[in-house]
Structure 1
Amino acid sequence: MRKAITKSGLQHLAPPPPTPGAPCSESERQIRSTVDWSESATYGEHIWFETNVSGDFCYVGEQYCVARMLGPSLPVLQQKSVSRRKCAACKIVVHTPCIEQLEKINFRCKPSFRESGSRNVREPTFVRHHWVHRRRQDGKCRHCGKGFQQKFTFHSKEIVAISCSWCKQAYHSKVSCFMLQQIEEPCSLGVHAAVVIPPTWILRARRPQNTLKASKKKKRASFKRKSSKKGPEEGRWRPFIIRPTPSPLMKPLLVFVNPKSGGNQGAKIIQSFLWYLNPRQVFDLSQGGPKEALEMYRKVHNLRILACGGDGTVGWILSTLDQLRLKPPPPVAILPLGTGNDLARTLNWGGGYTDEPVSKILSHVEEGNVVQLDRWDLHAEPNPEAGPEDRDEGATDRLPLDVFNNYFSLGFDAHVTLEFHESREANPEKFNSRFRNKMFYAGTAFSDFLMGSSKDLAKHIRVVCDGTDLTPKIQDLKPQCVVFLNIPRYCAGTMPWGHPGEHHDFEPQRHDDGYLEVIGFTMTSLAALQVGGHGERLTQCREVVLTTSKAIPVQVDGEPCKLAASRIRIALRNQATMVQKAKRRSAAPLHSDQQPVPEQLRIQVSRVSMHDYEALHYDKEQLKEASVPLGTVVVPGDSDLELCRAHIERLQQEPDGAGAKSPTCQKLSPKWCFLDATTASRFYRIDRAQEHLNYVTEIAQDEIYILDPELLGASARPDLPTPTSPLPTSPCSPTPRSLQGDAAPPQGEELIEAAKRNDFCKLQELHRAGGDLMHRDEQSRTLLHHAVSTGSKDVVRYLLDHAPPEILDAVEENGETCLHQAAALGQRTICHYIVEAGASLMKTDQQGDTPRQRAEKAQDTELAAYLENRQHYQMIQREDQETAV
């Protein structure tokens, strides 16, 4: 193992150097944010993303840090503003100009492949650790079991830990914990070793040289003639070859991420997968689609696929698997990043990704059950019986897709979707938020209802299912929408066929039984669908022949078009292999793995406000302290969260029931959800659609935590005084003047002077004597402005607790609020107090800057990131309120 020691004393442990003749060094190459699959790929190349991590000290050390060497010649602000980048695969942070210096200290990223050669291919290979120094490290030392001392100063140069970016093992950075012999030992690849594709499986192939002898040229020409008989994919040379070592315990995973899904969630989550897995098993679908990767990994045994995106992304991958005809086809799991995610809901993956740790997602993919999913062919041809008068200039003869996994529909719902797609293509800038999209859908649906464009649908269609003509039944029903459904979910989670047990005249609905459910909707049943209703169940069938006599809007898995008069045949195509998220087989006891599951559990319920969760969900202990007790519930020991939800919702309805009456008068909001407090290093939300998959004993130890998005900050901290609570007494406060006689109320100048001098006791005394906390000076500055300028936390807290709410967003002459001022001064704690009290983060000063932008100008990137997070939350709250109105 090569070592390079900088002048600061840092010892960088680098992976072995590449073989002679390897491609050019990183200093001669562009800064990459994607994996390089070309023949010029660099061994141990980093994958860089921009970051706002604070701190001037970058990984290369003082001796090679370009920003530090230029420091004396640059102003202080310019030194701090040098951009930084973070490697997604090994999580080191460097200044952008210092990236090329990594070659000088011989520090490469964890190698994602190995070089092919006559010796390397035959020799037994194993994965070595990739050791990286850390200035911050969570968890405990693997050797001594003690935690790592956290250095809270942002400019600390001290190394506290050495960890492996493959297996994530961490040790104290001292000889007593990290022995030299551990450097050379094989790496286990960590807790997710079963799904990680080892770099030893991926070989870089060398292109044949042009200086071969004639005989070799002849042999190569003969080989080309033979390979020309193969498919276009098989005969093409690739820079990389996958040579797996099959093992029954392994379930190697390919991750495909659609970065545009879910409001660009995919672009952020891809970095987490690069950290936990081999970067060469993670693919960005915007860089060319899934076909190349699936073709390259087609010989990997027990392969699994994780599709990160919406239902359209899943359909794209399934269609590609059909084209390649992989035997056996790898099962596909889903990380839902789209909007509807009906297929993901059906397979228990939930209605959308919130904040579940990627490590948990990988475990679910590994443990998931393999199931089958019916896929249906659509074949459309022009209706020969339609006359010229039935033609429509805007109609097409082709469907947008020739196969569907979820549903095929025609009528009202397809017309609304079509108008939305056409409007978005014409004016994409007007459809940049979920709230606007929802409003457009609602407006289009309402106008379509008034116009009654689909009321005559039954007159223009003929439906034959398994040889039975349903047209008379459809004409009696007069539906405005007909749906051919393959899965139970439709339209973002609704169940149009009805819940299990509600359809006694039909077989239970399944996604693998080779049957379609045919459902008709009137406007009344469509409206009831969103509140638990269902449509008119027409039949279950294996084959459909649908004939339309005029142009009608249709949609295939959400892709709409206006289809000319046609004859459409629907028949089973095949079955796709999918991964269904599994429920744990047995509930683990609360206290010990050896104890049996008790018959009943008496467990405390505490709720957390959204603003506390956003600020503290990475710190379990602080978040637990910020929680508010709600009461106690008694549930069976093997209860899942669905059953537990019913008990919790009865808490406030039954004050004298199982638990004590809630200490807070604020009732639970209908949007509350469970928090997992035990199975990860931080809290995370559990999708309501997945509550039946989780036992109470899996997410809690002695206490259940729930997230209530409408819980007020004041309720979350009952120990703090509120404007309506009795004023606290203080040993520094003498008897108020109002009790000493008819003294005149204090002047505003006295209050300002007390705030300027950070005299908390004097300010409290003046307030009790009748002083006006909303007093302003000649520059329109409030007492809160003055308290912020002096950095007085006690005075700020007192004013926030006792002054009217208007003080939060009051502006002085230059348009600054107190939050602008605190952000510009880098006062993080005071900013947290003001934001928590409800100050607006969208207000701008005379230069048009928000508080977040003032923090950025002050070079406090962490404060700016916090304010940006809270600003985003405020915008979501506002959208929800407007939607409710």
Structure 2
Amino acid sequence: MSAGVMHRGALRKAITKSGLQHLAPPPPTPGALCGESERQIRSTVDWSESATYGEHIWFETNVSGDFCYVGEQYCVAKMLQKSVPRKKCAACKIVVHTPCIEQLEKINFRCKPSFRESGSRNVREPTFVRHHWVHRRRQDGKCRHCGKGFQQKFTFHSKEIVAISCSWCKQAYHSKVSCFMLQQIEEPCSLGVHAAVVIPPTWILRARRPQNTLKASKKKKRASFKRKSSKKGPEESRWRPFIIRPTPSPLMKPLLVFVNPKSGGNQGAKIIQSFLWYLNPRQVFDLSQGGPKEALEMYRKVHNLRILACGGDGTVGWILSTLDQLRLKPPPPVAILPLGTGNDLARTLNWGGGYTDEPVSKILSHVEEGNIVQLDRWDLRAEPNPETGPEERDEGATDRLPLDVFNNYFSLGFDAHVTLEFHESREANPEKFNSRFRNKMFYAGTAFSDFLMGSSKDLAKHIRVVCDGTDLTPKIQDLKPQCIVFLNIPRYCAGTMPWGHPGEHHDFEPQRHDDGYLEVIGFTMTSLAALQVGGHGERLTQCREVLLTTAKAIPVQVDGEPCKLAASRIRIALRNQATMVQKAKRRSAAPLHSDQQPVPEQLRIQVSRVSMHDYEALHYDKEQLKEASVPLGTVVVPGDSDLELCRAHIERLQQEADGAAAKSPTCQKLSPKWCFLDATTASRFYRIDRAQEHLNYVTEIAQDEIYILDPELLGASARPDLPTPTSPLPASPCSPTPRSLQGDAVPPPGEALIEAAQRNDFCKLQELHRAGGDLVHRDSRGRTLLHHAVSAGSKEVVRYLLDHAPPEILDAVEENGETCLHQAAALGQRTICHYIVEAGASLMKTDQQGDTPRQRAEKAQDTELAAYLENRQHYQMIQREDQETAV
């Protein structure tokens, strides 16, 4: 027992110390040098130049008990012996009394760091994220080491530590020697289940201004700041101290979260804390603190970026319009967490009609695994109607629309009048509209009142509608609608389907949100009432362009933003298409997100070279250029290698192949003028100047294969043809000799398929399959074609088999009980593992030794691959439980 107590004492000091230095010991910040009494207690992330490293983000809490994380020695409330308010850090979930926040500096405990310092350290030095260990008095789940649950102390005033957990990856251990070892404190952190969407703090660099520059240009900067502030806004300078330097990876989907705290009855303010806990606080933004523009500009170079818009449809439109302004290429896809009242766009993209209590962890998984789709966006141009006189002008009307683009719908008449009444009432008394239910009740009451007044019954007399050159005015006057809707998506008015359900409109094309067409629908009061019980409006037409003319002031709304528009001419035309994330109906495996986080000790990379002819002809098309490349060999380099070091390995590889090149006429020697190609960070390949090779890491320009440009290599169109059978090809490691050219007998079809898989001969395998070859063929040891393709490391063949072979091939076992996933895990083939897991292979199957694929990866000492397989195994178990519950 005494040993355990001694261990906890040492552990407390070690963990407290480690809470300060997870990336690198930072130099003292300006905030740290100030007196603690002057430090602001922040509830938002500080992006200013004086941001404090490891600063907590505090929120009010009503947690029970008198426990305070600073401990009894430093607890002010304990000394005062009275009850005081408490605050909880959203990012690491420690709880302290409000007066005790200053005492955290005395015990040297900082929050998980959200950025890294530049200081005097080389900014190119490879860094990785370490765990941020925190003591816990209460902990859910089970110990990662022993698998047992955590004993909760039910005593109200208990202060005994039961667990130690990491604020990043959420791993937890019992607070005892047998479960948590001291050496684990400094271990790299995988960032947990959601590592694919977490922006690592190593990507966010605070670049300090040189002191001599600051002093020399002090007056000049003050004058410049005033001029720039007047032109660009006072908030711009907040972002300058921070630089985003990402490490691209095709298996990561870094996420920016934008939360509108006022949406849907102020729900947004409640979920910000959850995102701060699961993610890096510097990827979570409160839209009430300045909007999305500054954040999107700062993260614009992050590869494979995704956005989560937490709010109503208006919030989504705001973000999409900002993306239009910034012209990001490619535009990041936008997912939605619906917090508004209607949420019709969220419903269309399968995100639901409103957020209730779904765990944020599940939401992040859905965002990561969602499908990318397109969404039409429509331009609105309004100008005063020159045919109306001053006597017809309404004093309360405006000449401008609230928005000049819409994603959901544009409408006029009854529905817009009801929305306008709601909008004006909420502006006057915002405190009365703090719940979604109360908002909907107000809508219902206003609609009933407007129905009794009949304010929109003469709508058809005052409008003219021309769609794609066809005048619909006579048809509209016959219908006498009280509301007309120009609809882009199937959903409208909090989930109704005004165009009707699929299959109900045989005279029109199926409704889509990405077809470049609008649906024009008219509503009478009868059809509006029926809309809420499954009815639909009068389907008028589908069109690409609308010219709408109004003869008097009429209430209109653009995606829920209403106004009373003076007599106008309004033109509607397609603007562009936005990239969105649609929630997948069937959850699929997430990509291998831990491929480069942290950086592995070694990288095994295939080197392929490209000719100048092919480069000039195909540099705009990555896939074609990859196909035109010629494999040179494989190099093994340290995980943190720059291109200068990689060059030495490639030239050594070339020296080893010189003898083979002399024997083979088809294998050209690498010329001394070759250079690296960046195949990752841009939409096309581009050359890297040799003088800048030391500034680029291998992981920045390559994924599983690195490409080099050889100006003396013959292009694909100029290469000599393969020798004919009368001129057999000499044996060469650069160009293996097909067995069919050696005069051997033609093997049976099954053996030919196996041979093609073993030799990575994709074309031959495809040819044999098309000729009737059996893709489920096995050899004498029970190995399938997939087993052989995995052993050969052939990603192209693996993908082909997964796409064309029956599903049973995934979990087929050979004589020693190994599936193809066991083999791929043992060989450390991360991309192939991802392919197989994504196809639906079981992660729970065991071989004859009782090992799962994850355990095989652990035995191969590939911790990143093991962590990925463990995460996917966890998700499979959840899916199985959900299916059993449904049954």
Question: How far 1:637 moved relative to its partner?
Answer: 45
TM-aligned CA distance change 1:81 to 1:12, over 3 Å: farther
Asked whether the equivalents of residues 463 and 546 of structure 1 are also in contact (C-alpha less than 8 Å), the reply is yes
Summarize the alignment of residues 425-824 of structure 1 with structure 2, pairs less than 5 Å apart.
425-434=427-436, 436-584=438-586
TM-aligned CA distance change 1:246 to 1:347, over 3 Å: same
Asked whether the equivalents of residues 54 and 113 of structure 2 are also in contact (C-alpha less than 8 Å), the reply is yes
TM-aligned CA distance change 1:250 to 1:677, over 3 Å: closer
Partner SS for 1:651: helix
Deviations, residues 260-280 of structure 1 (Å, cap 9, x unaligned): 112121111000000000000
Question: How far 1:208 moved relative to its partner?
Answer: 3.5
- In structure 1, what is the Cα distance between the partners aligned to 2:339 and 2:34? 38
Partner SS for 2:516: coil
Question: How far 1:9 moved relative to its partner?
Answer: 17
Between 708-717 and 429-438, report the one with greater CA deviation: 708-717
- In structure 1, what is the Cα distance between the partners aligned to 2:330 and 2:759? 76
Partner SS for 1:653: helix
Question: How far 1:354 moved relative to its partner?
Answer: 0.8
Question: How far 1:790 moved relative to its partner?
Answer: 77
Asked whether the equivalents of residues 16 and 108 of structure 2 are also in contact (C-alpha less than 8 Å), the reply is no
Asked whether the equivalents of residues 14 and 131 of structure 1 are also in contact (C-alpha less than 8 Å), the reply is no
- In structure 1, what is the Cα distance between the partners aligned to 2:850 and 2:605? 51
- In structure 1, what is the Cα distance between the partners aligned to 2:709 and 2:357? 13
- In structure 2, what is the Cα distance between the partners aligned to 1:279 and 1:783? 46
TM-aligned CA distance change 1:54 to 1:610, over 3 Å: farther
Partner SS for 1:719: coil
TM-aligned CA distance change 1:524 to 1:578, over 3 Å: same
Between 813-822 and 128-137, report the one with greater CA deviation: 813-822
Deviations, residues 812-838 of structure 1 (Å, cap 9, x unaligned): 999999999999999999999999999
Deviations, residues 411-442 of structure 1 (Å, cap 9, x unaligned): 11111111222233344455455555444433
Asked whether the equivalents of residues 190 and 864 of structure 2 are also in contact (C-alpha less than 8 Å), the reply is no
TM-aligned CA distance change 1:602 to 1:299, over 3 Å: closer
Question: Please, which of 865, 868, 872 is the counterpart of residue 866 of structure 1?
Answer: 868
Partner SS for 1:464: strand
- In structure 1, what is the Cα distance between the partners aligned to 2:129 and 2:638? 46
Question: How far 1:614 moved relative to its partner?
Answer: 65
Asked whether the equivalents of residues 248 and 699 of structure 2 are also in contact (C-alpha less than 8 Å), the reply is no
Alignment gaps of 5+ in structure 2:
1-10
Between 368-377 and 627-636, report the one with greater CA deviation: 627-636
Asked whether the equivalents of residues 127 and 198 of structure 1 are also in contact (C-alpha less than 8 Å), the reply is yes
Asked whether the equivalents of residues 738 and 768 of structure 1 are also in contact (C-alpha less than 8 Å), the reply is no
Question: How far 1:104 moved relative to its partner?
Answer: 0.7
Partner SS for 1:483: strand
Between 759-768 and 595-604, report the one with greater CA deviation: 759-768
TM-score by length of 1: 0.62
Asked whether the equivalents of residues 113 and 200 of structure 1 are also in contact (C-alpha less than 8 Å), the reply is yes
Asked whether the equivalents of residues 609 and 713 of structure 1 are also in contact (C-alpha less than 8 Å), the reply is yes
Partner SS for 1:877: helix
Question: How far 1:516 moved relative to its partner?
Answer: 0.3
- In structure 1, what is the Cα distance between the partners aligned to 2:512 and 2:135? 52
Question: How far 1:297 moved relative to its partner?
Answer: 0.6
Question: How far 1:550 moved relative to its partner?
Answer: 1.0
Question: How far 1:844 moved relative to its partner?
Answer: 63
Asked whether the equivalents of residues 490 and 498 of structure 2 are also in contact (C-alpha less than 8 Å), the reply is yes
TM-aligned CA distance change 1:155 to 1:487, over 3 Å: same
Deviations, residues 632-686 of structure 1 (Å, cap 9, x unaligned): 9999999999999999999999999999999999999999999999999999999
Deviations, residues 490-529 of structure 1 (Å, cap 9, x unaligned): 0000000000000000011000111000000011100000
The answer for the alignment partner of 1:22 in structure 2 is 32
TM-aligned CA distance change 1:825 to 1:381, over 3 Å: same
TM-aligned CA distance change 1:790 to 1:644, over 3 Å: closer
Between 223-232 and 277-286, report the one with greater CA deviation: 223-232
- In structure 2, what is the Cα distance between the partners aligned to 1:841 and 1:873? 10
Between 35-44 and 633-642, report the one with greater CA deviation: 633-642
TM-aligned CA distance change 1:780 to 1:426, over 3 Å: farther
Deviations, residues 423-470 of structure 1 (Å, cap 9, x unaligned): 333444554555554444333322322332211111111111011111
Question: Please, which of 291, 294, 297 is the counterpart of residue 292 of structure 1?
Answer: 294
Deviations, residues 23-66 of structure 1 (Å, cap 9, x unaligned): 53655301111111111111111111111111112111111111
Asked whether the equivalents of residues 672 and 706 of structure 1 are also in contact (C-alpha less than 8 Å), the reply is yes
Question: How far 1:176 moved relative to its partner?
Answer: 1.3
Question: How far 1:146 moved relative to its partner?
Answer: 1.2
Asked whether the equivalents of residues 255 and 308 of structure 1 are also in contact (C-alpha less than 8 Å), the reply is yes
Question: How far 1:128 moved relative to its partner?
Answer: 0.9
Deviations, residues 594-646 of structure 1 (Å, cap 9, x unaligned): 99999999999999999999999999999999999999999999999999999
Partner SS for 1:39: coil
TM-aligned CA distance change 1:84 to 1:834, over 3 Å: farther
Kindly indicate whether residue 50 of structure 2 is the aligned counterpart of residue 40 of structure 1: yes
Question: How far 1:184 moved relative to its partner?
Answer: 1.1
Between 719-728 and 518-527, report the one with greater CA deviation: 719-728
Identity within the alignment, %:
97
TM-aligned CA distance change 1:130 to 1:452, over 3 Å: same
TM-aligned CA distance change 1:666 to 1:593, over 3 Å: closer
Asked whether the equivalents of residues 617 and 683 of structure 1 are also in contact (C-alpha less than 8 Å), the reply is yes
Asked whether the equivalents of residues 713 and 837 of structure 1 are also in contact (C-alpha less than 8 Å), the reply is no
TM-score by length of 2: 0.62
Question: Please, which of 185, 204, 207 is the counterpart of residue 206 of structure 2?
Answer: 204
- In structure 1, what is the Cα distance between the partners aligned to 2:342 and 2:154? 42
Question: How far 1:368 moved relative to its partner?
Answer: 0.3
Kindly indicate whether residue 113 of structure 2 is the aligned counterpart of residue 103 of structure 1: no
Asked whether the equivalents of residues 406 and 557 of structure 1 are also in contact (C-alpha less than 8 Å), the reply is yes
Asked whether the equivalents of residues 246 and 301 of structure 1 are also in contact (C-alpha less than 8 Å), the reply is yes
Asked whether the equivalents of residues 190 and 594 of structure 2 are also in contact (C-alpha less than 8 Å), the reply is no
Asked whether the equivalents of residues 54 and 860 of structure 1 are also in contact (C-alpha less than 8 Å), the reply is no
- In structure 2, what is the Cα distance between the partners aligned to 1:707 and 1:531? 64
TM-aligned CA distance change 1:129 to 1:494, over 3 Å: same
TM-aligned CA distance change 1:50 to 1:485, over 3 Å: same
TM-aligned CA distance change 1:399 to 1:514, over 3 Å: same
Between 151-160 and 603-612, report the one with greater CA deviation: 603-612
- In structure 1, what is the Cα distance between the partners aligned to 2:527 and 2:611? 37
- In structure 2, what is the Cα distance between the partners aligned to 1:708 and 1:446? 75
- In structure 1, what is the Cα distance between the partners aligned to 2:203 and 2:786? 63
Question: How far 1:246 moved relative to its partner?
Answer: 0.8
Question: How far 1:386 moved relative to its partner?
Answer: 1.3
Question: How far 1:394 moved relative to its partner?
Answer: 1.2
Deviations, residues 386-405 of structure 1 (Å, cap 9, x unaligned): 12332211111111111111
TM-aligned CA distance change 1:218 to 1:114, over 3 Å: same
Between 27-36 and 758-767, report the one with greater CA deviation: 758-767
Deviations, residues 47-100 of structure 1 (Å, cap 9, x unaligned): 11111111112111111111112xxxxxxxxx4521111110000111111111
Partner SS for 1:6: helix
- In structure 1, what is the Cα distance between the partners aligned to 2:883 and 2:670? 17
Partner SS for 1:283: strand
Deviations, residues 832-885 of structure 1 (Å, cap 9, x unaligned): 999999999999999999999999999999999999999999999999999999
The answer for the alignment partner of 2:71 in structure 1 is 61
Between 272-281 and 595-604, report the one with greater CA deviation: 595-604
- In structure 2, what is the Cα distance between the partners aligned to 1:711 and 1:434? 66
Asked whether the equivalents of residues 626 and 717 of structure 1 are also in contact (C-alpha less than 8 Å), the reply is no
TM-aligned CA distance change 1:229 to 1:553, over 3 Å: closer
Between 698-707 and 412-421, report the one with greater CA deviation: 698-707
Deviations, residues 136-174 of structure 1 (Å, cap 9, x unaligned): 111111111111111111211111111110111111111
Partner SS for 1:554: strand
Across the aligned residues of Structure 1 and Structure 2, the Cα RMSD in angstroms comes to 21.6
Question: How far 1:180 moved relative to its partner?
Answer: 1.3
Question: How far 1:378 moved relative to its partner?
Answer: 0.3
